[in-house]
Structure 1
Amino acid sequence: MAIVSIIGRPNVGKSSLFNRIAGQRLAIVDDLPGVTRDRLYAPITTDRGQFYLVDTGGLEEENSERPFAESVRRQVHLALAESDLVLFVVDGRGGINALDREVAMTLRRSERPVLVVANKIDDPKHDEAYYDVFELGFEEAIPVSAEHNRNISTLLEMIEERLPRQESLDAEDEIRVALVGRPNVGKSSILNELTGSDRSLVSDIPGTTRDVVDSVVVRDDRRFRFVDTAGLRRKSRIDSRLEYYSTVRTFQAIDRSDVVLLVMEGTEVATDQDKRLAGHIVEQGRGLVLVVNKWDLVSKDPSFGPKLLKKIREELSFVDHAPVVFVSALSGRSVGRLPEAICRVQENRCRRIVTSRLNEMLRDILAFERMPGDGKGRYLRISYLAQVSVTPPTFVFFVNDPSLVTVAFERYVIRQLRKMETFEGTPLRLFWRKKRPSAASTA
């Protein structure tokens, strides 16, 4: 599938343009130069098929003292290497400056097709302000306003004309995987190990992945879309617009994923933030794999592994269905086990139990030595049950009185379901409905 990259100096509206074309707020938009530090991918559907739109961190001046300037430049060069078309965004209202000329030189060296986009031209009366962009040496340019949606449809038509007709992307075959966890636990390093490229900025400064980055990887005929996210900080530390956006985006990434890798550090597992994330993952019905990173730093004592696993199971008992994988992203140890675990969990999320097996389980449940009751002689009676959906597996029990169901009994039923079929890594949802009287009994 073709790749179209949005490139330009900081603060010319690249992320606003990306969001406008993508139709959703995927990139953090702020007035602070350098806010979009990583590349962000979004599949765009047009009449001619689909392409990936890529937002990049802004190119900085060569003498910039910002800590990520060199990393961002590397990301831009990597995006250029992958691009079929480049959208070179400039500030059409503010005019061309020396950095725009430097960016233009970088783009001309790449020999990629370039379409200059003069952003922030809100009114046709100001179109002549963008004529200066032609001094950059490119043949084609268009004035737009990402904020006011001006000329965006025309821009899309120009993009379509420059891309080969392609078959539309079948995203149903993808397994969408979110990598979440506290800052600096190694999510980006794990992502890079899984994808085989430096797709997410890696630094020992907590929070270096501020936005969400999608990477598509094919392994053993299975396609994975990995989403790396900023680390979730304690609420008291979320004191800037940037961190707030990223925290919200972490939860959004979970919501649009199939399976979530909750990454923890071997020296500090099951923190309050880990529990908060795990709770949201279960609430959203997503598959879960617990990943313990930096295992090489803590695994010298052979007895430490079982102790750590015991602690994880005790502290995160509400997700005891999730597999635990110990890895070292630094050395690559056991990271290769993650795709298999992801596939296994996703398969379990899609699992259905045939009716005959459900009837067997119902007999086992009814053999429970004491059904829950109200203490006044009324006990729970189950008439029948059905699996009504998957992702996650969802079951409805028709009973005489749903208010008689206790938490302990519901846990017992879930244990029975997990004994009957393999539901590793996926939550199960149970609903209790009052059985309606039959027509014969009401006649």
Structure 2
Amino acid sequence: MKKKPIVSIIGRPNVGKSTLFNRLARKRIAIVEDTPGVTRDRNYYDIQWENRPFTIVDTGGFESEVATDSLESSMVEQTKVAIEEADVVVFLLDGITGVAPDDQVIMDLLRRTEKPVFVVANKLDTPRHEDMTANLYELGVDKIFAVSASHGRGIGELLDELTQDFPLLEEYGDVDEEEVPIRLAIIGRPNVGKSSLINTLCGENRAVASPVPGTTRDTLHTAIRHNGRDFILLDTAGIRRKSRAFEHSIERYSVFRSIAAIEEAHVVLLLVDAQEPIADQDLKVASYAWEAGKPVIIGVNKWDIVDKDDRTYLQYQKNIQSRFKVSSKPCILFLSALTGQRTHKIYDLAEKFYRKTRLRIPTTEINELIQKAAIKHPPPSHTGGKRVKFFYATQISRHPFIVVIFCNYPESVHFSYKRYLTNVVTEAYSLHNVPVILKFRKKKASDKEHHEN
């Protein structure tokens, strides 16, 4: 299948890269704040313009004068890598403040590449501001696009020229389910090693990894191919307690973004720190994912530095199993993002669970299973001793996996009986770690039984 072009947006801090990224994506993906350096990593998103698909990449701000071991140094490295992997580069300037020393450094860097570069002056909110682009030509470029990312001015003209040589959508051919990239969200509390794990899985520094908690603020989309299968890794900000996270607006957006990433994902990896007991907050994060119908893998990171004896593994596993109530057989993977120990198994597990969520059960088959279960263990009686009867069941969704059971008294189906039937379906189709959602509805005269093949 033909590869979509990659367009990287680069520039010094606070010139509006994330605002432009969000404008092109038509949704708030990168966090926008009037603070330099808010975007620290690369962020990917697939879009199309005039039937021409491509991938946009948002990067951290480039600052040439930084210490080699600083977080900002990592951001500079990320920018350089984003240029290397791009097919087209958008070099964004602040059209109001003019050319800064770092702009000259970036321009010198871009002259060494043979890739198309579109120089764009941002923050030109009105036509009268466009005269301010004259001073920007000291960079030695032939054309500068005047835009306002926040208002949308000039974006259409920029995209027309930027995409004119990109392939049309129909040139890519049909995409079957086996070619859809598996979206894996990596979630957890701050500083448990999410970005380090991304880097290990990718074999390069895709995300800024730092001992400073909360280094990742955006949800970062990283495309990777493993054993012939495409994946998109979603690296999320650490989910903190709301009382702490909501103290600052950037942290607030990060929490919302992490929850949104769970919704977007096919599979969720909850990463916890092996040096600490699994916390209530970890279990709440897992519940976000489970309630959204996402398979959950519990990754116990930093296992290489834990003092162990022959009982440590079983004790830790038992502790998780006793507290992770939503699954009777939680998938637990003991790993090390630093050494790579067992990290290769993540891809296999994600693909295994993805395939399970693709399961479609014929209506006749699910009906037979529910009826047999009801005969073996009849449901509790309705008020007044009336019997609860299940008329028929049908699967209405695969991801999340939802089965609707039509009956005469849905309100009388007790939680414990719902769990019994859920376990029946789970065991029958080996759907452990895949949330099975049963919904009970009252059968109406207008309802007709649906048969799915």
- Please indicate the TM-score interval, normalised by the length of the shorter structure: over 0.9
Q: Which amino acid aligns with 2:113?
A: S
**Aligned residue for 1:155?**
158
**Quick check: 165-174 or 37-46, which moved more?**
165-174
**Secondary structure of the equivalent of 1:417?**
helix
**Aligned residue for 2:253?**
245
Contact kept, 8 Å, 2:292 with 2:400, in 1: the verdict is: no
Q: Distance in 1 between matches of 2:352 and 2:116?
A: 42
Contact kept, 8 Å, 1:48 with 1:160, in 2: the verdict is: no
Contact kept, 8 Å, 1:398 with 1:435, in 2: the verdict is: yes
Runs of 4+ in 1 over 4 A off after TM superposition: 63-66, 162-166, 168-172
**In the alignment, does 2:335 pair up with 1:332?**
no
Residue 385 of structure 1 and its aligned partner are, at CA, apart by: 1.8
**Deviation string, structure 1 residues 76-121 (Cα, Å, up to 9, x no partner):** 1111111121111111122112222222222223343211101111
Q: Distance in 2 between matches of 1:332 and 1:66?
A: 23
Q: Which amino acid aligns with 1:109?
A: R
Residue 126 of structure 1 and its aligned partner are, at CA, apart by: 2.2
TM-score of the superposition, structure 1-length normalised?
0.93
**Aligned residue for 2:227?**
220
Instruction: Decide whether aligned partners of structure 1 residues 162 and 359 sit closer, same or farther in structure 2, where only a CA change above 3 A counts.
Output: closer
The alignment-based identity, stated in percent, is 38
**Secondary structure of the equivalent of 1:416?**
helix
Where does 1:28-177 land on structure 2 (aligned, <5 Å)?
Answer: 28-47=31-50, 49-63=52-66, 67-161=70-164, 163=166, 167-168=171-172, 170=175, 173-177=180-184
**Secondary structure of the equivalent of 1:273?**
helix
Where does 1:373-388 land on structure 2 (aligned, <5 Å)?
Answer: 373-374=381-382, 376-388=384-396
Q: Distance in 2 between matches of 1:337 and 1:369?
A: 39
Instruction: Decide whether aligned partners of structure 1 residues 142 and 408 sit closer, same or farther in structure 2, where only a CA change above 3 A counts.
Output: same
5+ residue gaps in structure 2? 448-453
**Aligned residue for 2:10?**
7
**Aligned residue for 1:301?**
309
Q: Which amino acid aligns with 2:240?
A: R
Residue 412 of structure 1 and its aligned partner are, at CA, apart by: 0.6
**Aligned residue for 1:275?**
283
From 228, 238, 243, the counterpart of 1:231 = 238
Contact kept, 8 Å, 1:321 with 1:427, in 2: the verdict is: no
Q: Distance in 1 between matches of 2:198 and 2:86?
A: 21
Residue 356 of structure 1 and its aligned partner are, at CA, apart by: 4.5
**Number of residue-to-residue matches in the alignment:** 439
**Quick check: 428-437 or 331-340, which moved more?**
428-437
Contact kept, 8 Å, 1:352 with 1:387, in 2: the verdict is: yes
Q: Distance in 2 between matches of 1:389 and 1:158?
A: 41
**Aligned residue for 1:209?**
216
**Quick check: 45-54 or 178-187, which moved more?**
45-54
Q: Distance in 1 between matches of 2:442 and 2:301?
A: 46
**Aligned residue for 2:372?**
364
RMSD: 2.1
Q: Which amino acid aligns with 2:163?
A: E
Instruction: Decide whether aligned partners of structure 1 residues 375 and 85 sit closer, same or farther in structure 2, where only a CA change above 3 A counts.
Output: closer
Residue 63 of structure 1 and its aligned partner are, at CA, apart by: 4.4
Q: Distance in 2 between matches of 1:163 and 1:359?
A: 50
Q: Distance in 2 between matches of 1:138 and 1:387?
A: 59
From 436, 439, 442, the counterpart of 1:431 = 439
Contact kept, 8 Å, 2:53 with 2:167, in 1: the verdict is: no
**Aligned residue for 1:396?**
404
Residue 438 of structure 1 and its aligned partner are, at CA, apart by: 9.1
Q: Distance in 2 between matches of 1:190 and 1:66?
A: 20
